C-alpha cells in the first residue's frame, strides 16, 4: 500500500470542474512535485490534501488512514505557503513554536525542537528577531522551520520560492533539496517552474486542466513525454514541435521515411546550425540569445507555412550570427519524437 494515496479526487467550484478524478500514489520518503501552467489545479489539489479545501468526491488515504473528512489540524501534515504567513509581532522562535504551544507540548520539548530546526536551517542567530528584521529567504526558512518542528508525516510546499529573487530562488532550492535528503521526509511541492520540478523531484506530476497528463522521474518525462503538452512543458527551451504539413522537408532532415501525418518533435540541443547553403533545411536567423555558457539561435525555416516555420537551436559554443543571416539546419540523426494530430506520442527515436 502507498503511503499517501488519492483515489478519484474531484473538486468543483460553481459549474467549473477544477479537479477531475485524480488518482495518485506517493511512497514514503518520496519528493513529488506538482507542476503545470497557471490554473491547472495544482495548488487546489495540494490544498485538498492539506484539508484547506473541501473534497467533493473521492478519498485521501495517509499511512492506511482515511483523512478525507478530517480537519487540517488532525491530518498530521505541515504546509509551507508562498506568502510565508508569519506573525509579524512574534520572534522567529515564537513563530516556529506556535503550533506546539497551542497543542500544549512540554516547554523543554518545544525548546529542543526549535533549537534543532534552527540549526538545520542556519537560523540560530536569528531566533530572537522578528520577521521584519529578516530577508525574504530567511523568512521562508522560518516558515519551513515551523513545519519541521511539528515532525509531520508529509510536508506540503505551495510555490514557496515565488516571492524570492532569482539568486535566492536558486540558493533556497538547494537548501530544500538538502533538507529533504537529511530529514528523509515525504514531500509534495507545487510549482509552475519546470526547472524546480526537474532539479528537486523524485517524480514529477504534470497537470493540465485538473487532469494528470503524466507522472514519472524528471528525465523520463524529458526523454519520453506522453504527449505534445508534456514535451513542450518539460525542458527549457521547449521542444520544437513541427507540423509535417507546414515543413515537409523535416522528415528527410530527421531521417524518417515512414508514413506520418502529424508533428515531429526535436529538442533544441539536437538542432545543428550550418553555414548558408548547407544542411537539410534552409532558414534565416530571427534572434540570437547569448547566455554565456550556451547560445540559443531562433531561426525561421523555409516551408509551406507563410512566414516560415520557427525552430530553436541550442549550442554550447558562442556564435557570430546575427538576426537576418541565412543559415542551414540539420537534425542529429535518430533524435526525434512523433506525435499524431491529437498531440499524443506515437514513437520516439533517440
274 and 185, same structural domain? no
Kindly report the CATH number assigned to the domain that includes residue 137: 3.40.50.300
The pLDDT value recorded for residue 325 is: 96
The pLDDT value recorded for residue 237 is: 92
203 and 170, same structural domain? yes
66 and 10, same structural domain? yes
321 and 215, same structural domain? no
Walk along the chain (350 residues) and give the pLDDT tens digit of each residue.
Answer: 689 999 999 999 999 999 999 999 999 999 999 999 999 999 999 999 999 999 999 999 999 999 999 999 899 999 988 887 889 999 999 999 998 998 888 999 999 999 998 988 889 999 999 999 998 888 888 998 998 898 899 999 998 888 777 777 888 888 888 888 888 889 999 998 888 999 999 999 999 999 999 999 999 999 999 999 999 999 989 999 999 989 988 988 898 877 778 999 999 999 999 999 999 999 999 999 999 889 999 999 987 666 789 999 999 999 999 999 999 999 998 899 999 999 999 977 76
The pLDDT value recorded for residue 334 is: 85
209 and 309, same structural domain? no
- Residue 219's domain comprises 4-228
Please give the model's pTM, rounded to 2 decimal places: 0.89
241 and 333, same structural domain? yes
254 and 157, same structural domain? no
184 and 251, same structural domain? no
Tell me how many domains the chain contains: 2
Domain finish residue from 204, 228, 252: 228
Kindly report the CATH number assigned to the domain that includes residue 242: 2.40.50.100
155 and 33, same structural domain? yes
80 and 48, same structural domain? yes
Domain finish residue from 179, 199, 228: 228
Domain finish residue from 208, 228, 248: 228
SS3 track for the chain: CCCEEEEEEEEEECCEEEEEEEEEEECCCCEEEEECCCCCCHHHHHHHHHCCCCCCEEEEEECCEECCCCCHHHCCEEEECCCCCCCCCCCHHHHHHHHHHHCCCCHHHHHHHHHHHHHHCCCHHHCCCCHHHCCHHHHHHHHHHHHHCCCCCEEEEECCCCCCCHHHHHHHHHHHHHHHHHHCCEEEEEECCHHHHHHHCCEEEEEECCEEEEEECHHHHHHCCCEHHHHHHCCCCCCEEEECCCCCCHHHHHCCCCCCCCEEEECHHHEEEEECCCCCEEEEEEEEEECCCCEEEEEEECCCCCCCEEEEEEECCCCCCCCCCEEEEEECCCCEEEECCCCEEEEEEC
224 and 114, same structural domain? yes
302 and 178, same structural domain? no
Amino acid at each position: 500500500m502507498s503511503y499517501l494515496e488519492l483515489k478519484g479526487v474531484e473538486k468543483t467550484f460553481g459549474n467549473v470542474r477544477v479537479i477531475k478524478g485524480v488518482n495518485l500514489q506517493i511512497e514514503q520518503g518520496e519528493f513529488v512535485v506538482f507542476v503545470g501552467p497557471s490554473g491547472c489545479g495544482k495548488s487546489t489539489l495540494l490544498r485538498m490534501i492539506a484539508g484547506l479545501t473541501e473534497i467533493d468526491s473521492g478519498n485521501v488515504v495517509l499511512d492506511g488512514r482515511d483523512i478525507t473528512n478530517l480537519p487540517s489540524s488532525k491530518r498530521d501534515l505541515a504546509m509551507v505557503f508562498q506568502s510565508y504567513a508569519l506573525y509579524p509581532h512574534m520572534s522567529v522562535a515564537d513563530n516556529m513554536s506556535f503550533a506546539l504551544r497551542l497543542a500544549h507540548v512540554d516547554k523543554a520539548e518545544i525548546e529542543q525542537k526549535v533549537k534543532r530546526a534552527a540549526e538545520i536551517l542556519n537560523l540560530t542567530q536569528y531566533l530572537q528577531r522578528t520577521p521584519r528584521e529578516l530577508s525574504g529567504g530567511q523568512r521562508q526558512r522560518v516558515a519551513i522551520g515551523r513545519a519541521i518542528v511539528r515532525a509531520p508525516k508529509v510536508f506540503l510546499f505551495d510555490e514557496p520560492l515565488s516571492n524570492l529573487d532569482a539568486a535566492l530562488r536558486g540558493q533556497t532550492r538547494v537548501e530544500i533539496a538538502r533538507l529533504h535528503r537529511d530529514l528523509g521526509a515525504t514531500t509534495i511541492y507545487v510549482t509552475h517552474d519546470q526547472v524546480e520540478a526537474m532539479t528537486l523531484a523524485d517524480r514529477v506530476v504534470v497537470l493540465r486542466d485538473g487532469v494528470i497528463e503524466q507522472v514519472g522521474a524528471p528525465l523520463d518525462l524529458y526523454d519520453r513525454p506522453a504527449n505534445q503538452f508534456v514535451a513542450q512543458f518539460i525542458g527549457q527551451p521547449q521542444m520544437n514541435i513541427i507540423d509535417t504539413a507546414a515543413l515537409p522537408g523535416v522528415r528527410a532532415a530527421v531521417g524518417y521515411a515512414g508514413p506520418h501525418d502529424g508533428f515531429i518533435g526535436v529538442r533544441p540541443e539536437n538542432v545543428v546550425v550550418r553555414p548558408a547553403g548547407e544542411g537539410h533545411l534552409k532558414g534565416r536567423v530571427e534572434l540570437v540569445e547569448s547566455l554565456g555558457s550556451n547560445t540559443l539561435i531562433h531561426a525561421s525555416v523555409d516551408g509551406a507555412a507563410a512566414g516560415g516555420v520557427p525552430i530553436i537551436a541550442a549550442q554550447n559554443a558562442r556564435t557570430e550570427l546575427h538576426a537576418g543571416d541565412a543559415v542551414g539546419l540539420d537534425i542529429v540523426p535518430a533524435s526525434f519524437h512523433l506525435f499524431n494530430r491529437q498531440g499524443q506520442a506515437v514513437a520516439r527515436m533517440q
